[in-house]
Structure 1
Amino acid sequence: MASANTSWSEENLSCTICLEVFNSPVSTPCGHNFCSTCINNFWDEKLEYKCPLCNKLFHTRPDLRVNTLLSEVVDRFGMSVRVKEEPCVEPGEVPCDVCTGTQQKAVKSCLECFMSFCQTHLEPHQRVTVLKKHRLVEPMDRLEDRMCEKHDRILELFCKNDQVCVCLLCTVTDHKSHPVVPLKEEYEMKTAQLGKIEAEVPQMIQERKLKIKEIKNTVELSKKGADKEIADARQALTALIGCVEKCLDDFNQMVKERLKSTEKQAEDLIKGLEQEVVDLTKRMSTVKQLLHTEDHLHFLKAFRSLKDPPPNRTWSTVAVHPPSYEGALGKSLDQLEETLNVEMKKLRSGDEPKRVQKHKVDVATQLLPRVRISRPSLWLDD
């Protein structure tokens, strides 16, 4: 047994699945040896039972036998296979699915084994003839998410009709005759679309900010116009008797109500514009995140769930028209003064003071309701 021990190398004592020294080695009917846990786990994940080394197919799951001689040699050898030093997994890197303890960075993913391997555990795929035929790609995390749930094949195509990722078998079954393209091609097209949106959104935001500024300026002019009209009205109405002073208060209230209506309508418009700015800003943020996603599958899934853009409203024709006050009160007061003078001439002939005073009030009451201020106009051409 001593001579046998010296003739074995570390490679002879390593399981080709985990690349570690055999742990409870068992033999397959084809004569190859594996750790009991490794070969059982390997077959648990497969629909058919093949030898990982020679690819021999077994119609039923083989009855594995413990390799007593190999177990004894491993015990006497008394050492583990030296694993090459590799950097630990950094954020964003794919870990090796075979490493035990500290996981190392994967350098390749196998589309046949559905596993990712570090440089050390990739060695069987570079050495064993059968494993050399497996499809190796750049490291991918969550390989199970990349498999077709129906056919257990890698998702590598995109169906234009149904806007979903599909495998090769899907193109001859559920998606037969549907136009399909490689994931990369669809990824590039969608990226171009997002790039166009990213270029348009800042301009849309700027247009809305300018419109907000325009509306605020209009409201400010309305306030100045209202203040001036109130001052002019007060100067004219304070010259009248007590009944006209009451009309002054009514007039002031009327102007303020019109101004309040203008401000309210302008406020509603500004809120709508500001909300669109917020929505567009959020959308631009989502678009930028997607543009930094290099994972084709995750990108397309996220792109599909991306909300439709908010309806573009033409704001260029939106305007707030302040109410017009100019000259409205002056003409009415002139008419009132003229009427009062005519009535007073008639009363001077012999009517008593109380009757004259009452007549003034009656005339003012009849004329002042004629004073009108045009309502502010808020219009929008769609």
Structure 2
Amino acid sequence: MEQQPIGGMASATSWSEEDFSCSICLDVFNSPVTTPCGHNFCRTCITVFWDDMVQYKCPVCNELFHTRPVLRVNTFILGMVDQFRSSVRVKEQPCVEPGEVPCDVCTGTQLKAVKSCLVCYTSYCQTHLEPHQRVSRLKTHQLVDPLDSLEDRMCKKHGRLLELFCQTDQVCACVLCTMTDHKSHPVVPLKEEYEVKTAQLGKIEAEVQQMIKERQRKIKDIIDTVDHSKADADREIADGVQVLTALRRSVEKCLDDHNKTVQEKLKSTEKEAEGLIKELQQEIKDLTNRSSEVKQFSQTEDHLHLLQTFRSLKDPPPTRDWTTVEVRPPSYVGTLRRALDQLEETLNMEVKKVPDLRSALHKYACDLTLDPNTAHRHLSLSEDNRKVTRVGVDQSYPDHPDRFDSWPQVLGREALTGRCYWEVEWGGGVEIGVTYRGITRRGGGGDSMLAGNNKSWTLDCYDGRYSAWYNGIKTVLPLLPAGSTRIGVYLDRPAGSLSFYRVSPGGGGSSDTLTHLHTFWSSFTQEDLLPGVRVGWGSSASLCSRFFSCLSDP
């Protein structure tokens, strides 16, 4: 390829790579030399080319030389090639955009900085960074991602590098600051405090994520509770339709009133749930924003920037304690019966055909016994482990990891699955309830006390009154025992409900009546549920058989 002469006022940047290419290797000249005929080649290329020849000729014009020519460096071409290479490197680098850090060395068009030197306090593009990658002394300098306002890394008072952190005043300091303003304060290197702060940010992030998960679980619990409530409402309406449809026109008004009542209760529950979900979603949004902010802080590699801006981290958004918040769906027990009572005078015969609540629950009756391995040593079991009495003398029970060592409590042996109904005859003062198998057995704290935690629920029968307990919170119930010493317990795990009833004597068997006392609602986990009893001084409790008879009955 014939080379064009280079002259005039043209600069290297106005030429193409082809103008500076060796006709042998077809690449940009490397150590260009000139032959006597005026053509230019890379020194290595022309040397190797002539090494294999007997007669020496120019690869371009084929001029023959009787002796091997002496090659001379073309200084003009060498300078132009260097300019051309530099211009190519500059063109390949991006220009600085708004918001980006510019190269402090570039003149004219400023290129985007790729690194900042914390020793030189200068930001460099790829071209001007080259000495730091080549010169041994400069290689020891600390390079970081491009930083703006490097002058902020200097102490404004002493003009020295900010390389320490005062733990008392929570500010960055230079060496001279530690001899004056922060003389008696504990100071550490920036990196050490950076690691402390990033650890704090990690902890904050973990706490935020945990709060988000808890609220997401709470939303699920609320939705599940509403779904269970809908299922209960559907069953109640279906029962009403089954009975009242047979009465046709005479009970149409009763049927309409009954359905309206159920729907209004359900609507009220849904409205309450929607409000709680909306509040939880807002908290999740606020916490997500905080999580993003914390993550942004955590990802910075700039020790000083993080420490200087750490205090600007916003306070956590106000959140509500959702531990005890729950949707309490209404009880539909007795709704149908009350509707029928309004027609008792004219439909007395039809009303008698409707089974009472106790008879309906009979199909869920279960035989339960008490587990001696869980009984506190002040509790005596008798009557085939169906009766428990609190005594003042330690019983000779063997050591067992399931035994309560502080609270006078005992659990049932059989796990409760699906739907279960049982009755307990009590005397004195007792708490009757249900607990997860995993309740703590050691110590006298709330973790091991029935209803002193979120793993158990009880009904307290004592001193002529009833109280419902959960998670250490007491709810006094308006109904009184009124001569009854028996409690009915109905657990509906699929529906997420645990109900307690007062069993009023009516001659025994199906003639006894149930009065609803209280219902707990919860999304029960897969862990086993067990019946449990806590017994007061001189008190006792007996588990009745599935035929509702207790061995202690007269």
TM-score (norm 2): 0.38
Checking the alignment, whether the CA contact within 8 Å between 2:155 and 2:161 is kept in structure 1 is: yes
Is the 8 Å Cα contact of residues 258 and 375 (structure 1) preserved in structure 2?
A: no
Q: Of residues 187, 193, 197 in structure 2, which corresponds to 1:186?
A: 193
Cα shift at 1:247? 4.9
| Closer, same or farther: CA 173–249 of 1 in aligned 2, 3 Å | farther
Counterparts in 2 of 1:149 and 1:375: CA distance versus 1, 3 Å: farther
C-alpha separation in 1, matches of 2:238 and 2:129: 90
Which residue is 1:307 aligned to?
A: 314
Give the conservation status (yes or no) of the 8 Å contact 1:191–1:291: yes
The answer to whether 1:327 aligns with 2:327 is no
Give the partner amino acid of 2:217. Answer: L
Unaligned residue ranges in structure 2 (runs of 5+): 1-78, 350-514, 523-554
User: Deviation string for 1:330-365 (max 9, x for gaps)?
Assistant: 1562475158869xxxxxxxxxxxxxxxxxxxxxxx
- The aligned amino acid for 1:289 is Q
CA distance in 2, matches of 1:186, 1:265: 47
How many angstroms apart in 2 are the aligned matches of 1:213 and 1:110? 51
Query: Which of 276, 279, 291 lines up with 1:284 in the alignment?
Result: 291
Contact 2:283 2:319 in 1 (8 A): no
The residue aligned with 2:305 is 298
Q: Measure, in 1, the Cα distance between the counterparts of 2:259 and 2:116.
A: 81
- CA distance in 2 between counterparts of 1:213 and 1:98 reads 59
Partner of 1:225: 232
CA separation of 1:246/1:293 partners in 2, compared to 1, >3 Å: closer, same or farther? same
**Matched residue, 1:337:** 344
C-alpha distance in structure 2 between counterparts of 1:109 and 1:232, whole Å: 80
Q: What corresponds to 1:145 in structure 2?
A: 152
- CA RMSD across the alignment: 4.7
Deviations 1:116-155 (A, max 9, x none): 57887998xxx9xxxx9xx965365421222334444332
3-state SS of 1:158 partner: strand
CA 1:94/1:137 → structure 2, altered by over 3 Å: closer, same or farther?
A: farther
User: CA separation of 1:375/1:141 partners in 2, compared to 1, >3 Å: closer, same or farther?
Assistant: same
CA drift of 1:171 comes to 3.4
Deviations 1:301-351 (A, max 9, x none): 343222233456554544323211123331562475158869xxxxxxxxx
CA distance in 2, matches of 1:94, 1:195: 28
| C-alpha contact 2:233 2:266 (8 A) present in aligned 1 | yes
Q: Per-residue CA shift, 1:225-244, capped at 9, x if unaligned?
A: 223323444555563876x6
Partner residue of 1:177 out of 184, 200, 205: 184
| Distance of aligned partners of 1:263 and 1:376 in 2 relative to their CA distance in 1, 3 Å threshold | farther
Residues 1:157 and 2:164 are matched in the alignment: yes
Match of 1:265, SS state, is helix
1:373–1:245 CA distance, 2 compared to 1 (3 A): farther
CA separation of 1:322/1:122 partners in 2, compared to 1, >3 Å: closer, same or farther?
A: closer
Aligned length: 261
Choose between structure 1 and 2: higher helix proportion: 1
1:108–1:136 CA contact under 8 A, matched in 2:
no
Q: Which has the higher strand share?
A: 2
Contact map agreement 2:166 2:185 (CA 8 A) in 1: yes
Report Cα offsets for 1:156-187 as digits up to 9, x if no partner.
22232332323334434444433322221111
The answer for the alignment partner of 2:34 in structure 1 is none
Relative to structure 1, the CA distance from residue 337 to residue 165 in structure 2 (aligned partners, 3 Å threshold; closer, same or farther) is: same
Give the C-alpha shift of residue 219 in structure 1: 0.6
| SS of alignment partner, residue 168 of structure 2 | coil
In 1, distance between residues paired with 2:308 and 2:118?
Answer: 23
CA distance in 1, matches of 2:106, 2:224: 68
CA distance in 2, matches of 1:304, 1:311: 18
Q: Residue type of the partner of 1:138? A: L
Q: Deviations over 1:75-107 (max 9, x none)?
A: xxxx9xx89949556689965424322457587
**Identity among equivalent pairs (%):** 60
CA shift in 2, pair 1:301/1:377, >3 Å: farther
2:165 is paired with a residue whose SS is: strand
Report the secondary structure of 2:217's partner residue. helix
Alignment gaps of 5+ in structure 1: 1-78, 343-371
Distance 1:322 1:183, change over 3 A: same
